[in-house]
Amino acid sequence: MRRHLNAYTRHQVFLNYPYDEDYRPYAEALSFGVVAAGLLPVSARDLTTPDTGRLDLLIDAITNCYYSAHDLSRCRGEGPDNFARMNMPIEMGMGLFHALSTQRSSHRCAFFVPNHYSYQGFASDLAGLDPKHYTEDPETLLVAVYEWLRDIGPSAVVSNEPTVAVLEAFRDYHVRRDMVDGAGPSGRPTHSEAREVMYQICADRDWWDWRATKAGLAEFPAVPIRLRSS
């Protein structure tokens, strides 16, 4: 994790999503949309400093991200007025409330839900914000998050590419990711390795160029990756 999250506030997007295996393709789509926009994804999975409490890291991460994207697809409520209190992890509570309470001044957030999923059962109103919908195809989530960032981000910060070009890059990412001899289960890329492939794909296209200078290389060191031999 970067040492100084607060220096990158205007470029960071906090991604708040479930960590189960079924969600992995959607998590990749969310992260890729952020990287393609030239921004820096931050999620609880990036917060691994051993000497700091997880809650503190989360608070740091959320309050130092100008943008946040929240996927509500695993939230379950207990009644019509219950905001999924008992089933939401703490980062959801913090992320949501930080996002909602600062939306009008210093933070921009969006909520994403699958089409078939009825969030109305527990969240009667997300402070007036309409969730953005996606289908079973992760590419629809990628389109939603990229277009959201492109629409609201200033041109000095967010890339401005045709969405189809971003979709093509995402398909390239899948090809290159599958070539990686990863350190995850069954040789799959780990979270860091997968993120590195995203950076490389988008850097090749000049969308994500944080390593363009010596100082940038020092701040964003590349994660070593080994490709499969065949």
Partner 1 sequence: MFLSSTSEMRKYPAPRSFLAAAEAAIIRAGDVVNGLEFFSASEEAPADVCRREVSRSDIYVGLFGFRYGPMVPGGSSSYQELEYRTALEAGIPLLLFMLGDDAVVPVTFVDSDLESLQRQRAFRQRLRQSSVKGDFSTPEQLESQVMQSLVRLRDPAPRPDRRTVMILCDDQTQNLGMLLARELAPESGVDVQLLGLSSSPDGGGVERLLTRLADVDLALILPSDNELASEWFEIGAVAGALGAERTMLVVPEGPSGLGMQTKLPVLRLRLTGNQVAEARFAAAEALTRLLAMDQRSQARPGFYSCFLSYVAEDADFVARLYADLQDAGIPCWFDRADIRPGEFWRQDLTRAIAGQDKVLVVLSRNSLRSRWVEREIARAAQLEDDRNRAILFPIRLDDAVFDEESGWARELAQQRQIGDFTRWRDEASYRSALRRLVRNLTISVASDTAEAEL
In the complex, which residues of this chain contact partner 1 (CB under 8 A)?
A: 2-4, 6-11, 38, 52-56, 59, 62-64, 79, 81-83, 85-86, 88-101, 103-105, 108, 123-130, 152, 154-160, 206, 209-210, 212-213, 215-216, 218-219
Q: How far apart are CA 86 and CA 36, in angstroms?
A: 35
Q: Which is nearer to partner 1, 38 or 189 (CB)?
A: 38
Q: Which is nearer to partner 1, 27 or 39 (CB)?
A: 39
Q: Which is nearer to partner 1, 31 or 64 (CB)?
A: 64
Q: Could you tell me the smallest distance in angstroms from the CB atom of residue 161 to partner 1?
A: 10
Q: Could you tell me the smallest distance in angstroms from the CB atom of residue 184 to partner 1?
A: 26
User: How far does the chain reach from its first CA to its final CA, in angstroms?
Assistant: 32
Decide: helix, strand or coil at residue 183: coil
Q: How far apart are CA 183 and CA 225, in angstroms?
A: 9
User: How wide is the angle at C-alpha 75 spanned by C-alphas 77 and 29, nearest 5°?
Assistant: 160
Q: Could you tell me the smallest distance in angstroms from the CB atom of residue 28 to partner 1?
A: 24
Q: Could you tell me the smallest distance in angstroms from the CB atom of residue 79 to partner 1?
A: 7
Q: Which is nearer to partner 1, 94 or 197 (CB)?
A: 94
Q: Which is nearer to partner 1, 101 or 135 (CB)?
A: 101
Q: Which of 222, 220, 221 is nearest to 7 (CA)?
A: 220
The helix (H) or strand (E) run that includes residue 82 is: none
Sheet containing strand 12-16, strands side by side: 40-42, 12-16, 67-71, 108-114, 132-134
Q: Could you tell me the smallest distance in angstroms from the CB atom of residue 58 to partner 1?
A: 8
Q: Which is nearer to partner 1, 138 or 208 (CB)?
A: 208
Q: Could you tell me the smallest distance in angstroms from the CB atom of residue 7 to partner 1?
A: 4
Q: Could you tell me the smallest distance in angstroms from the CB atom of residue 68 to partner 1?
A: 10
Are 60 and 104 within 8 A, CB to CB?
no
Q: How far apart are CA 156 and CA 39, in angstroms?
A: 11
Q: How far is CA 106 from CA 6, 7, 34, 71, 80, in A?
A: 13, 15, 19, 21, 30
Q: Which is nearer to partner 1, 6 or 175 (CB)?
A: 6
Enumerate residues 6+ apart whose C-beta is below 8 A from 156. none
